[in-house]
């Protein structure tokens, strides 16, 4: 199942707990309590049998009954895909079990990742320069992208775009195109395509010394270190 087929397919909904727990048999109750106690980690069937101290045939029968009653579900553990792993339906698998936001049903969701990469790149290209917060907000407000992503997730995506030389990480100097971005704040610039073979080529603005200066955090308009006294910044202006 793809998260890109439509808005409704992008959200992972928590299953409803419809079946009354009061209807459980003694054995089903024991097994359910063991599984439910593991919360979002779930439990492997072998460990479940040891903890419940029930015969294999009783465990297998009870598991089927609990699944029919929609009280438990089988989930994919990316660390051990060959093992049967169960969890109470009221919980969603933890990152350790599911693999996190980049996995869907136990497999790396390459389609989702690539779509998010392209969307992030377009947002930065549109603005020219953007902060992590701006990119995250624009993605989360995108009409056709009905899934919430965190700053950490977007930062991971932006890192892959930097490796691909599609964008570059720079720091704001508070002037020009950086006027709306706080001084010294990390932001991202789109690298326009150009040159032979269509390879990414950074223009004059991309080479601004402030973006790679290790002392930019100490640089202030009227301080000892400032754009006014910086010989590298003056050379860049002369360029």
Model pLDDT for residues 9-50, shown as the tens digit of each residue: 333 444 444 545 777 888 888 888 888 988 888 888 888 888
- Residue scoring higher pLDDT (51 or 7): 51
What tokens appear for 206 in the block? 């991309």
Q: What's the average model confidence in pLDDT over 142-150? A: 75
pLDDT > 50? residue 3: yes
pLDDT score recorded for residue 52: 86
Domain boundaries, the chain: 26-100, 110-190
pLDDT score recorded for residue 24: 82
Rounded to an integer, what distance in angstroms lies between the CA atom of residue 231 and that of residue 228?
8
Q: Which of 118, 150, 116 lies closest to 132 in space, CA to CA?
A: 150
pLDDT score recorded for residue 104: 72
pLDDT score recorded for residue 167: 92
Tell whether the torsion through CA atoms of 44, 50, 53 and 57 is positive or negative: positive
* Percent of the chain residues past pLDDT 90, beyond the cut: 15
pLDDT > 90? residue 208: no
CB 131 within 8 A of CB 158: no
pLDDT > 80? residue 99: no
The torsion of the CA quartet 197, 200, 201, 206, rounded to 10 degrees, works out to 180
pLDDT > 90? residue 187: yes
Rounded to an integer, what distance in angstroms lies between the CA atom of residue 10 and that of residue 12?
7
Rounded to an integer, what distance in angstroms lies between the CA atom of residue 109 and that of residue 76?
14
Q: Which residues pair with 171 in a beta bridge?
A: 186
R_g (Cα) of the chain, nearest Å: 26
Q: What's the average model confidence in pLDDT over 166-172? A: 91
pLDDT > 90? residue 228: no
pLDDT score recorded for residue 211: 53
Q: Which of 112, 79, 98 lies closest to 10 in space, CA to CA?
A: 112
Q: Which residues pair with 190 in a beta bridge?
A: 167
- Please, what is the end-to-end C-alpha distance for the chain in angstroms? 53
What tokens appear for 88 in the block? 């109470």
Q: What's the average model confidence in pLDDT over 55-61? A: 88
pLDDT score recorded for residue 207: 47
Fold (CATH) for 26-100: Arc Repressor Mutant, subunit A (1.10.10)
Domains 26-100 and 110-190 share a fold: yes
pLDDT level of residue 95 (50, 70, 90 thresholds): confident
Place of tokens 């080479």: 207
CATH value of 110-190 in 3.30.110.30, 1.10.10.10, 3.30.70.260, 1.10.3720.10: 1.10.10.10
pLDDT > 90? residue 134: yes
CB under 8 Å to 231, separation ≥6 — which residues?
Answer: none
- Residue scoring higher pLDDT (197 or 29): 29
What tokens appear for 35 in the block? 């599984």
Lowest mean pLDDT among 73-82, 181-190, 208-217: 208-217
Residue 168 φ/ψ region, left for φ over 0, alpha for ψ in the -120 to 50 degree band, beta for the rest: beta
Q: What is the mean pLDDT of the chain?
A: 76
């Amino acid at each position: 199942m793809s998260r890109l087929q439509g808005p409704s397919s992008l959200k992972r909904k928590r299953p409803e707990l419809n079946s009354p727990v009061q209807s459980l048999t003694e054995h089903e109750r024991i097994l359910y309590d063991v599984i439910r106690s593991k919360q979002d980690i779930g439990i492997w069937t072998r460990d479940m049998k040891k903890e419940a101290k029930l015969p294999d045939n009783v465990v297998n029968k009870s598991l089927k009954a609990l699944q029919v009653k929609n009280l438990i579900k089988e989930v994919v553990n990316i660390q051990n895909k060959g093992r049967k792993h169960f969890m109470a339906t009221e919980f969603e698998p933890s990152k350790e079990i599911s693999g996190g936001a980049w996995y869907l049903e136990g497999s790396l969701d390459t389609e989702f990742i690539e779509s998010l990469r392209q969307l992030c790149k377009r947002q930065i290209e549109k603005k020219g320069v953007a902060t992590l917060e701006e990119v995250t907000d624009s993605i989360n407000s995108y009409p056709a992208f009905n899934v919430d992503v965190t700053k950490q997730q977007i930062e991971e995506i932006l890192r892959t775009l930097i490796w691909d030389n599609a964008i570059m990480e720079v720091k704001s100097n508070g002037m020009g195109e950086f006027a709306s971005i706080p001084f010294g704040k990390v932001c991202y610039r789109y690298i326009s395509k150009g040159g032979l073979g269509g390879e990414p080529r950074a223009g004059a603005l991309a080479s601004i010394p402030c973006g790679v200066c290790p002392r930019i955090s100490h640089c202030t308009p009227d301080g000892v270190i400032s754009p006014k006294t910086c010989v590298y910044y003056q050379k860049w202006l002369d360029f």
